[in-house]
Structures are given as C-alpha cells and as structure tokens.
Structure 1
C-alpha cells in the first residue's frame, strides 16, 4: 500500500490500525514525518530539536517487532513529539531556557518512558516559552501559528500546538499551569486535555508551580486525546502526588450527548466575551440539545479572585522551583520570567495564605457545583487568537491579563479536568476554542462530550490551508 497523501493528518487510531495490520511501515511513516519537518519547520520553528537518529532507530525496532508478531500497544510505531520540559534520556531538555541548553537528563520522564515502552517513536522536543511561563526567551525563535503568522500560538506549549496543527507529529505531550495546553489548542484548532491534578505523573517534568502544573495530551481529536491519555495516565511511585490507576476504557465510551448534564452559566459565558466566541458556544449548545443532552442553567462560582491571584500564586511556587539558579543567574533570564519570580519572592507569607484560602474556597464551590452535573461548557479565552501586537499590549494591563486567563487558570488552582476543543472559526478564519470542565477524575466524560461534538461537526477536521 502506498502512503496516503494525507498521512500527516491521519488520526492516531487510524494510523495504528494501518501499522498493526502492516499496511504501512513505521519506518516509512517516520521518514515521511521527518521529511515534512525538514520541509516546513524552518518557517514554523515548532521543534527545539529533532531527534532523527533516535526516531529512525525506534521505527526500525518497531517494524522488526511487528514483523515477528509482537505488538507492544496501539502506539507501536506511531511518531510523537514532546514539549521540551519532559526529561529524555541522553537528549537535551532545556525548558525554553538558554541556561539549560546543555542539560542532558540521564533518564526519561515517566510519561516519556511509558510511551517509549508502548513502542511510540520520538520525533523530537518541541519549543516552549521560557520556563513554561508566558513569553519565549528573547534569544529563542518563537514558533509561528500555521493559521496566521501574526497571531498568537498560545502559551507555553506553543511548539506542541504548532507541530500538531501543521502535521509535524501525530500528537504531543504538553503541560498546563494556567492554560498552556488549552490556549495553544484554541489558537491552533486542536483538542487537548488538562487532566485532573495527579492523574498524570509529573516526575521528570521541569517544574514551574508544583500545585498548578498538569501534564496532558494535545491532539487533533477527542478520541485521540483519550487514546494518548490512556497510555500516560496512572499512578507513578516516583510521583507521590499521582492518583491511583484508573482504567480508561476507550471502546466503552458512548459518543453521544444523550442524558449528559451540561452546566451553562450565561452570565459567565458573556462576561467580556467577544460575540464571535458567544455565537460559537451557542452552536455547541444547540448540538448538545438536539443530541439529547440536558442544558442546565447554573451559577458558576466567581473566578475573579483566583484568576486575579494566579500570577502571585504561581510566582511563589516558581521562585521555589528556580531557587538553584535565581537570583544567582538572574541576568540570563528573560524579563517576563524574572518579573514573575521577583513577585513571588517579594510576597509575604500572610498574603500567600490569603491566596491559598481563596483557592480552597473556590475549589470547594466547584466540587459542590459539579456534584449535580457531568460537565460545564466554557470558552477557553474571551477572544480568539489575538495578534502578536495585541498580546504585547496585554503585558501592560493586569486586568486584561486576568481576563485572558479567567476561564483557564481557576481550574489549575482547583485541579478539575478540562478538555479544550475547536468550535468554529472567526470571520478572519482563525480557530475558536471552547472547553468542557468536569468533576475530578472525570476525564472519560470529558472525552465523551468532546467525541459527541466531533461526531456531529467537522470543526476538528479543519486545517491551516497555507501549509498543505
């Protein structure tokens, strides 16, 4: 069988079947993906480093094992890429920071190890903002949004978003501390999951803010998101904060809205939210209602305090994470990350305790609300894919920054899982992202809701036309 023209955009499950039935060779797929990266990434800058030799070695190993009838998992032979904050044995992991340009871990992060053991092929490490905060280090070339080069790529998992949207990998591992899986998914027309805090091990992931960091998959469909989550999730003895293992049965999930209880807070959804985003959310509501779901009017707990507090909350923990290099090497840090750490170091213990109390209060209120619902519908951000000029202006306006993260960061604070997915395009042709939020441990129902949307719509199949 010759390679399909749209090979780079195949769903992972479709590709898995072709590989396992030996209709497509893992080596051919990997060579095709490396060639596409070579052809396109010079303009997109999504990869921090491409691991061609490792990828081809793993692909040949997968092909040899499959030829002998040995299939490690459905991921056997599938090329993936990882955000450059996940440790990879023998390969530089720099976390978007020039001061770590020579940092070579001796062992893999747990999530990387699980995918390697499952037979996945590592194409390389994906570019990211400095230390996983808001802005790329001045000495690093920022990734370019394939939908529009003058538009934001999303926050720290920027390379993951660009590479997956452009068909330079079949899926990626990202991280989310205030929205950094969901923002790049919204900006690049992807589906991604910020799991329940502790669902996926953080061992071997460069720390930004321990209680806010979440590791999760970024893909082109909800089904592929669940597919990837099912391999990386589960308890890890190396991460004592990880949750007990829970089996996520992909075939057993109903791809329908029937009986699904979906919380809607019209006031929250319209609070400073652009009309285009509101219209897209109402289109999703119509799909839910026509598919047998229940739209339940709710009053969302106020997110103002936790979103206003997020930078200080994060800054204290980031200062702890960087204590070995900051302030000793402060001159080598970019201005955004320096400002975050300086703010964290300056915060008093009493002020931080007030932030923690607000966080606990909000978490309890969301827990109570979710006990009566399956999911809550929300935007990812109040406006779609801002231009780079608009983004630069945000840095000067704390209230504008709070508005940007008001639908994402509160659920990093509370630890509730969120699924981001494409729900339309703006008049200018840029992707619009929406999200479902669920109770803790509710990843399966989130993916069910996402698959139900994607079964009756084609938003997730739209691709950036400029790159082919």
Structure 2
C-alpha cells in the first residue's frame, strides 16, 4: 500500500512498498536510485545528513539489481532498494570517518559483516551518514551539524543523527544506526521515525568502529516497524567473525508480522512514576495515549516497578568513557587536536577513572541486568519515554549534556541491561516536533516488540507524518 502518495512523493513511500513495486517490475532499481541521488543533491545541503554520497557505486549496484531481478534472481525485500549507513561501518575501498578528523583517511580492505549481509540481500547503499564524533556527544566542529528536518533549531538526536534525519526527510528508505546509550532511540524520537535497538549481541559488530564494545548495538532506522523488520531480518544473527554475537536462532521478523491484528496476546508493563517523573506534560500525555491505544488493541496492561536507574546510568557513562579511550588511546595521545571537545573530554575521563569506580560500574551492570530480567518475567514489553522533554533545542544542548543522568535516564540503563527496544512516533508537540515512545522488552524479544509496534502503527498514523520540507 502506497498510502495514496502522489508520484512526486515516492521518496516517502515505505521500504516495503518500494520493494513491491520493484519486484513487480513497476519500478526500476536504477530509476529509484537516480531519483534518490537527485533528491539528496537538492535537499541535503540544508540538512548535512550525509557525510559522503557514493552515487557511482550506488548506480552500479542498481544496474546489477535490475539485471538480477529481470533474470528471476530476486533476493528479497531489500533487493534494489536504496538505503544508507552510518559512517562508522567499514566498507571495502571506501573511506569511513567515524565522524572525526582522526579517522578521515581510514579505508578498510573489507566490509563490515552487516554491510556485507545487506549487500547480499541486494540493498543499494546510497552513502554514509553523519554522526556524532566517535558516536559520542556531538558532531565534530569541522564536519558541521546535522540538521533536524522538522525544525533546524532542534537537535536531530545522536549519535545516529544522519540516519534519523535522512530517513525522515525521504533521503533513503531505511538506514543503519548504532546505540550505546540512546543513539538509535534519540534520533528516532527526534525525527519521527521507527528505530530498533536490538538485544546486545544480536547483530554482529565485526568491522564497526566501536564506542564501547560491551554496550554497542546495531539496528535499523526506518519509517515504520514492518520496514525495520525487513531490514533486521537481512542482517541479524551470529557471525563467526564476532565471537560476542549471539548464537540463538533468528526468526523471520517480517513474516512474524503477517496477520497481526491488535495486541491481544501481549502483556505490557506500565510504571506510572517512571513514566512521569521529570518528564514534560506533552510527552506524558502522548505516552498515556499509547497506553490507551494498546488497551483498545486488546493488550493486558500490568503495573510494574522499574528498578532504580541512577546507578545504572552512571555505570553506562563510566563504561562508555573507559572502553572508548581503550579504542582511541593511541590515536588520541598521538594528536589530541584531531578530536572535538566532547570526545576529548570523554578520553580524559576514561584515562583517569580509578579501579574502584570501574569495578563498581561493571558490578552495577551485572546487578541491574538481573533486576531487569526479573522485572520482565510474565511481561512482554515496558512502555517508556525516550527522553524527558519534547525535543531538545540545539542552543540548550550544553545544558542537557551537563545533566546526563537525567537526559540518559530512559535509554542508557537499557544498554547496561542489554535490552532490546523499538522507538516509534506517538504524537506531535505544539511546537511541531514529533514525540517518541519506547517499547522495551526482555532479551531476544525483537519479534514481539516489532509486532506490537506494527499493531500500533496499523491503528494510528503518527508514523505517516512528514517534516515540512519539499
């Protein structure tokens, strides 16, 4: 279903709608790729969501896809569909900057596992998307800000800012993001798109620049839950090149959505104090609306108590700083001037934590992970805010970053726990910015979370709202 989009709005069609047109022969991968490249050239100079556009290779991939599909070698719903990736995935022969001057000349001799799997699924890679430097804190000053397509004064989320902005603005049909403390969830909420943060280890991290190895996760960012399921099905699962990847069987996430009607088989947790403490009124009202919608869809709403998150949030911050400097130390100490102020500050903190602080952080992580696992017994999902306010103004980011405990309080604890979540739009604020909600689940519950999000999106139209750009 194309949601009655006019022809000149094809760039806002869902990934699966485009896939259907391509499979039927009604749309050429070359035509749609050229269209997207032209749109990027016209729209993205004002957004800065792409750090590099790989137009020549994208068109070559599209020609290959066109020929394969015409000969009957259809690979699946990503075949011939243009997507984009965050600029921290190694790609053979292509520079990956990690959003930093320190790595601007890095070119890998092999593809990241996830990039390889997406190519094997037939996806067309349009280019590499902007991110906070080192996937942390803020954009490097030399690379400029990524702009939120809904309002240039508002933060587009981070660190996967380009992934959120490009997906929302119709500059790709889906994108890859990474998440260490909220970096899929923040930009999904800020840009009104749907993002899946998987269980830690569900997706291979081989060939991906790390922020914090023991927290980093990789997931799709799309315009609806079904598209996210299609992308995730193409790359989830164990990888012999990444011994931390999980060996559990991988379901067909997209097929699991077939025939989904309502949420009658779901038990969804609500902790009123958790939802409302320190959260602005518009966000509270929007999330209350989500609870009511799931009730109407037949879900059983259960009262739960979310474990205290302050220590877990601090643990995430300590672990991130420490593991980040472990990766960057040699390059950082060789030339600190290449690093922007936020990442440099993290390096300095990571270099100077004492052993007792580190021990407490890792012990806290293990305890909190156990507490969250027990909370989810008999429950399929927890409804949660993403961050405490409707959007975040760029001019107030220093203020927000100065109070990271509050700003990260709904996201980073669930990196510590390794929990999966789906973020999706659930309302519009008076200032015209989207409001997001998280559905957080027990480990390896991505299929159930995507089903719940899909059921919600079948009954609402928040995910169909588009930013006020051409």
Deviation, 1:255, is: 4.3
Paired residues for 1:47-446 under 5 Å: 47-244=50-247, 245-253=249-257, 254-395=260-401, 397=402, 400-446=403-449
Distance 1:53 1:106 in 2: 19
Look up the match of 2:45.
Answer: 42
Deviates more, 1:136-145 or 1:51-60: 136-145
Deviates more, 1:241-250 or 1:443-452: 241-250
Distance 1:276 1:107 in 2: 46
Across the aligned residues of Structure 1 and Structure 2, the Cα RMSD in angstroms comes to 1.2
Matched, 1:24 2:11: no
| Matched residue SS, 1:82 | strand
Once superposed, which parts of structure 1, at least 4 consecutive aligned residues long, lie more than 6 Å away?
A: none
**Deviation readout 1:397-450 (Å, 9 max, x if unpaired):** 3xx221111000001111010110001011111010100000000000110110
Distance 1:243 1:3 in 2: 43
Structure 2 unaligned blocks of 5 or more: none
Structure 1 unaligned blocks of 5 or more: none
**Deviation readout 1:114-158 (Å, 9 max, x if unpaired):** 011111111000011110001111111111100000000101100
Distance 1:237 1:411 in 2: 26
Deviation, 1:391, is: 1.1
Deviation, 1:394, is: 2.4
**Deviation readout 1:205-255 (Å, 9 max, x if unpaired):** 101100110000000001111111000101100000111241224233334
| Matched residue SS, 1:435 | strand
Contact 1:424-1:433 at 8 Å conserved across structures: yes
Contact 2:256-2:451 at 8 Å conserved across structures: no
| Matched residue SS, 2:255 | coil
Distance 1:80 1:3 in 2: 21
Contact 1:91-1:105 at 8 Å conserved across structures: yes
Distance 2:353 2:93 in 1: 38
Contact 2:251-2:447 at 8 Å conserved across structures: no
Contact 2:315-2:362 at 8 Å conserved across structures: no
How many residue pairs were aligned?
463
Contact 2:229-2:253 at 8 Å conserved across structures: no
TM-aligned CA distance change 1:263 to 1:23, over 3 Å: same
Deviation, 1:3, is: 8.8
Deviation, 1:351, is: 1.3
Distance 1:49 1:249 in 2: 31
Deviation, 1:310, is: 2.4
| Matched residue SS, 1:215 | strand
| Matched residue SS, 2:332 | coil
Contact 1:26-1:78 at 8 Å conserved across structures: yes
Deviates more, 1:33-42 or 1:347-356: 347-356
Contact 1:202-1:215 at 8 Å conserved across structures: yes
**Deviation readout 1:248-284 (Å, 9 max, x if unpaired):** 2423333421121000000011110001010001100
| Matched residue SS, 1:314 | helix
Pairing partner for 2:8 from 5, 9, 24? 5
Deviates more, 1:352-361 or 1:188-197: 352-361
Contact 2:58-2:125 at 8 Å conserved across structures: yes
TM-score by length of 2: 0.97
